[in-house]
């Protein structure tokens, strides 16, 4: 299902934190959003989900298939969140409920959006746990978030976002809080599950090295505006904006430092 964003503007306190952003994510596409801190990446993602602060004002268009999302009531947006657009947040420790087992949290969207019975929820929850490669899922699903490692919590977050089989999966800096080895494992999970389910992926990060291993095309944001949109190979090899060139130079410098250690 195509996601089309046109002239999206988000204003908070009289300041445009997202300013005239336009892009398209065709069905099954892997699309990246990159920029420095404060560039508007997360605000753009929250606007797609209708999860902006109360004081935010939104204009422009966000269309999922034939349906316009800007201006929908909260109740209508709640039906779309999870069932058509899933979200994986940056820090699963705060995104997960600390007083509910992870199994119950994965099962919740199955009950809400698909109306599955308890036994069907249990079976599907186990399938999802195995899909995201959670170890010993029969045991782990009965645990609480604080009893899991950071990588395991992020896998649970991915399972929750995928539970109702959304058309679009948004991942907002999902590997930032993880060490390099776990980052690679989580990126492999995204690659595998998006391919298996045929969903579109919007992957948000400030790390160009991470982005190039995940997406086909990417948008570079700078202070709330679009600096450049191009295939990832073109962004790396022939960047057209100064902002993109700065990101490429920073990624290369980081790579050289790692190789020299």
Residue-wise pLDDT for 183-226, tens only, equals 889 999 999 888 888 899 999 998 888 898 899 999 999 999 99
pLDDT at 134: 94
Please count the residues of the chain.
261
Give dist(CA 164, CA 159) in Å, integer: 9
Please report the DSSP string for the chain in residue order: --EEEEEEEEEETTEEEEEEEEEEE-TT-EEEEE-STTSSHHHHHHHHHT---TT-EEEEEEEETTEE-TT--HHHHHHHBTTTEEEE-S-HHHHS-TTS-HHHHHHHHHHHHH---HHHHHHHHHHHHHHTT-SSHHHHTTS-GGGS-HHHHHHHHHHHHHTT--SEEEEESTTTTS-HHHHHHHHHHHHHHHHHHT-EEEEEES-HHHHHTT-SEEEEEETTEEEEEEEHHHHHHS--SHHHHHHHHHHHHHHHHHHH-
pLDDT at 261 over 60: no
Terminal CA-to-CA distance of the chain, rounded, Å?
A: 45
- Compute the average pLDDT of residues 142-148: 96
Give dist(CA 116, CA 67) in Å, integer: 26
Residue-wise pLDDT for 47-100, tens only, equals 999 999 999 999 999 999 999 999 999 999 988 988 899 999 887 778 899 999
**Most confidently predicted of 39-43, 247-251, 255-259:** 39-43
pLDDT at 111: 87
Domain ranges of the chain: 3-94+166-260
- Compute the average pLDDT of residues 221-235: 96
User: Which residue has tokens 């919590």?
Assistant: 153
CATH fold of 3-94+166-260, please?
Answer: Rossmann fold (3.40.50)
pLDDT at 105 over 80: yes
Report the percentage of the chain scoring pLDDT > 70. Answer: 97
Q: Which neighbouring-strand residues pair with 5?
A: 23, 62
For the chain, give the mean pLDDT. Answer: 91
Give dist(CA 250, CA 210) in Å, integer: 13
Give dist(CA 94, CA 219) in Å, integer: 27
In angstroms, the Cα distances linking 51 to 18, 87, 165 are 14, 11, 20
Q: Contact at 8 Å (CB) between 235 and 255?
A: no
């Amino acid at each position: 299902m195509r996601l089309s964003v046109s002239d999206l503007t988000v204003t908070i306190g009289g300041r445009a934190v997202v300013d005239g952003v336009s892009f398209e994510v065709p069905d099954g596409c892997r699309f990246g959003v990159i920029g420095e801190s404060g560039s508007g990446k997360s605000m753009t993602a929250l606007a797609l989900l209708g999860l902006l602060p109360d004081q935010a004002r939104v204009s422009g268009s966000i269309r999922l298939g034939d349906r316009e999302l800007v201006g929908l009531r909260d109740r209508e947006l709640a039906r779309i969140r999870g069932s058509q657009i899933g979200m994986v947040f940056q820090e699963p420790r705060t995104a997960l409920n600390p007083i509910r087992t992870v199994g119950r949290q994965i099962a919740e969207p199955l009950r809400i959006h698909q109306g599955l019975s308890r036994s069907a929820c249990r079976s599907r929850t186990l399938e999802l746990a195995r899909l995201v490669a959670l170890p010993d899922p029969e045991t782990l699903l009965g645990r609480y978030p604080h009893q899991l490692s950071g990588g395991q919590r992020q896998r649970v977050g991915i399972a929750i976002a995928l539970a109702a089989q959304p058309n679009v999966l948004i991942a907002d800096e999902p590997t930032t809080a993880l060490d390099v080895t776990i980052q690679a494992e989580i990126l492999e999970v995204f690659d595998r599950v998006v391919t298996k389910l045929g969903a579109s992926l919007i992957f948000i990060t400030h790390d160009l090295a991470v982005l190039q291993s995940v997406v086909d095309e990417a948008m570079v944001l700078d202070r709330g505006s679009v600096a450049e949109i191009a295939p990832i190979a073109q962004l790396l090899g022939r960047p057209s904006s100064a902002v993109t060139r700065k990101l490429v130079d920073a990624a290369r410098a980081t790579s050289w430092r790692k190789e020299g250690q």
